[in-house]
Structure 1
Amino acid sequence: MIPLQDIYHARNQIYDITHVTPLMTSNQLNQLCQNQIFLKAEHIQKTGSFKIRGATNKVKRAVADGASLVTAASSGNHGQAVAYIANLLGVKATIVVPEDVSNAKLAAIKGYGGEIVYCGTTSHERIPKAKQLAATHNGIYIPPYDDPLIIAGQGTVGLEIIEQIPDVDAIVVPVGGGGLISGILSAVKQMKPTVKVIGVEPETANDTFLSLRNQSITAISGTNTIADGLRTTQPGDLTFPILLKTLDDLVLVSEEEIKQAMVFVMERMKQVIEPSSAVSLAAILQHKLGLKDRKIVSVISGGNVDIRNLDKLV
């Protein structure tokens, strides 16, 4: 795990950039789920997702090390975060995006001053390209999840949850490359090891599920899940061992279940969330956790939705 002191240090590094996001509740949601549910509202975080936490921690270190250029490979949210903090700190950012990147996320990256390079449709294709660009132009590559500084930054979500609800019973987290959940695990299991941390993946993007079952990193060929932020082909070399050792459970949700969760949040709570963040709530709504009468936090990881495609998502 990432040392707890590193996560506290990350919070000191990012406090002037990021928000301490609130917890949202719904009486109807509590009744439907037979639990007390809290939504950790990272969809209203700076740049629209939790990614700004890790990106700020890593890019600040890169700038301190003398970087004048940073690169990233991202389906959108990580790229937005890197472009935003790089622009704020006065360094250039080149973001390698998939060819099918959403228009909303693309516009945001450009709006934050990021230069765009298109490459393939999977992280397996994007990451080597971003690394190559950094090496060619004397820059520093900013990983989306597989980096101690990134993981420590995302772990600040866990710090906030424990401080906001000291008697929380379980935390449910979307899983892509594993940066967010490994950071939360590192914070929570060192602060309150009895708190359950449960991951959720789309059924069609189940690389971490397969890896945990096989007890070794297992890749998938690709996925077209609507949860575009979770379209990784395999968990990270650094993140997976943390999950293998400390994760309490991982469940899968269908595309239809993801859509239902998005619709519920929009209709009943008047919040726009992206499909990747809806997976955690989908697992709760479908009673896949085996918990009752508990305090459960569902991490809503992002809210960057292309409104023009909203009808297709719901």
Structure 2
Amino acid sequence: MKILKVLTVAALASVGFAGASHAADSYKFAVVPKAMNNPFFDLTRDGCMAEAKKLGNVTCIYQGPVEHEPATQAQIIDDLITQGVDGLAISVSDAAAATTLINKAVDAGIAVITFDSDAADSKRAAYVGTNNKEFGKALGEELLKLKPEGGTYGMISGGAAAPNLAERVDGVREALKGSKWTEVPGSPTFCNDDVTLAVQQAGDLKTANPDIAAIVPVGGWPMFAPDGWKNFVEPFKADVESKKVALVVADTLPVQLQLLKDGYANALVGQRPYEMGEVAIQTLLKLKKGEKVEKIIYTGLDRVTAANVGEFLK
């Protein structure tokens, strides 16, 4: 009888151990950016990796196209589905292509959320990131604060099929509607997240419209090439400092904050990409545990000018 009791305790201990092991299942979550050569997404990667390390039972796989190529992103997502990852967080380059793949992943039992750029009509469980319409409106509002007298302006966007960027462009236009600002022909230009091309397009806007009063990139691309951006701004830097020409740019990466401090921009409106990475992992883990999550999780915006740039550089 005593032996039986020992065996029973051992069996219970074994069940308990198995239960603990199950509770601490390991998960592989993939974060798929639009482009891995975009420093904005480096911060999302860092947030993802830090949160995974903190949790201990999560591996963050950071994988996407080197450059902004929607077809390559689609292939990478398809490959990750085939590999059987536990969860996907996708910054959508092309909403139509991504929707098909997101639905395929969900049907295969993979938890899927979007971040930064959404595919709202897909089966994704949640979106984590910026309210992009409000982001665009904030850019327009900062421009109105700088130059309420208006003038002509041009925008630089990234991928033409990216839904988040289209919302930002709409937001800028909405903020400036009814003001004395008018958009130049050919705006927005599309740089496909190519930082060198974005700088070139800024120069093209200035050359084609010598009296242009503002340039508004709805992503930080041209400033991600700091030497190129400086070379672009230098010939009319005095006009920027006097606000004759306003440069209102999206994102607040450290390199951009320094450029703003040095007089190479007037205002920045920033997202929180690091937090996107953290929250993406937290959300995917909740989904795998069967917990409910909010459909829309906004990570907030920051507005930076010469008056408060020092605080952000700290």
Q: TM-score scaled to structure 1, two decimals?
A: 0.35
Q: Larger Cα Rg: Structure 1 or Structure 2?
A: 2
Higher relative contact order (CA 8 A, sep 6+): 1
